[in-house]
Amino acid sequence: MSNQEEVNCWEISDAAHGRRLDQVLVELSGFTRARVQQLINDGEVGLLLPNQEVKVISKSSHKVLAADVYTARVPALQPLLLEPEDIPLDILFEDEHLIVVNKPSGMVVHPSHGHDSGTLVHALLHHCDSLPGINGVERPGIVHRLDKDTSGSLVVAKTEAAHHGLSALFASHDLQREYLAWCRGFPRWHNKTISLPMGRHPNNRQKMAVVESGKHAITDASLEKRFGEMFSRMRLRLHTGRTHQIRVHLTHEGLPILGDPMYGRKFNPSKDLPEVLRESLLHLSRQALHAEVLGFVHPITQEDVLCKAPLPDELVQLEQALSTLI
């Protein structure tokens, strides 16, 4: 994408007839779906009428017709206003196209309300000098994210070509993503595919929930270890990437993640637990969820990339404390 305003035109093929506007424009433009939807929401996309006037299309779900011509005004990228910050990074993989880091718990991925410094983006800008501004001034290079209190593997694009390629991988879910979670309770099964639709919680818009009208969400869950009758360690493999997907799916299965303030419900460890475990649980200041494995085919070199993020100290200590129950 250039630093100058662009006007693009695309004619709809017979094969695309009846499909969603945003899906078709992603394929025609090479932009990310988020970028296309942003352009539609901003009133930048229109249908060219026979009299050469342009009818603004404001819905991403608009169905296109064969031979229709759509235009899109792509505003020039705004200059990046964020100040780089010298924050140490735990780098798992890096080349001239992309970087994979082991994000610590407590770090926000990109600036947002209340988080205008100390984010991963600020650290990356210092390390990389520049990042593609495809996602605007606040999320350069970012193609996915981890919750603030989730640690682990996260990939960031360093070039526009890598950004487009990685975005396509995430859109098609063609990546290996494995998480570890330490939970209250344990399942009566060893392996299960949790396929439950997710959407906004009907009574709390800050939360997600299993809802019939939600988007499909699929998580493969495996029991890795039981700690007595009260706790377990689970391995989760994501097939989709909905907001809070693992946290919601595990809670729905009766396996809330330890330390999760939103979905874990209030938990007061029993005084009958070993003291080292009780203290570890009482002082756990994060959700016990870690994005351990991230694997994908490099979008530029086509080589296999497989990264494994080491556990942070607080989760190593939690594992050791839970092991006193075995």
Give me the active site residues, please: 147
Q: Whole-angstrom Cα distance, residue 221 to residue 230?
A: 18
Q: Whole-angstrom Cα distance, residue 238 to residue 268?
A: 30
Tell me whether residue 108 is exposed, middle or buried, using C-beta atoms within 10 angstroms of its C-beta: 0 to 12, 13 to 18, 19 or more: buried
Contact 74, 1 (CB under 8 A): yes
In single-letter form, the type of residue at position 265 comes to: R
Tell me whether residue 2 is exposed, middle or buried, using C-beta atoms within 10 angstroms of its C-beta: 0 to 12, 13 to 18, 19 or more: exposed
Helix (H) or strand (E) holding 161: helix 160-171
Q: Whole-angstrom Cα distance, residue 57 to residue 68?
A: 13
3-state secondary structure of 51: coil
Give all strands (DSSP E) within the chain, no chain letters.
6-11, 45-48, 54-56, 69-74, 91-94, 98-103, 151-157, 176-184, 191-195, 198-200, 208-210, 218-227, 231-238, 289-297, 304-308
- Tokens 């779906």 sit at which residue? 33
Q: Whole-angstrom Cα distance, residue 168 to residue 14?
A: 23
Q: Whole-angstrom Cα distance, residue 301 to residue 176?
A: 18
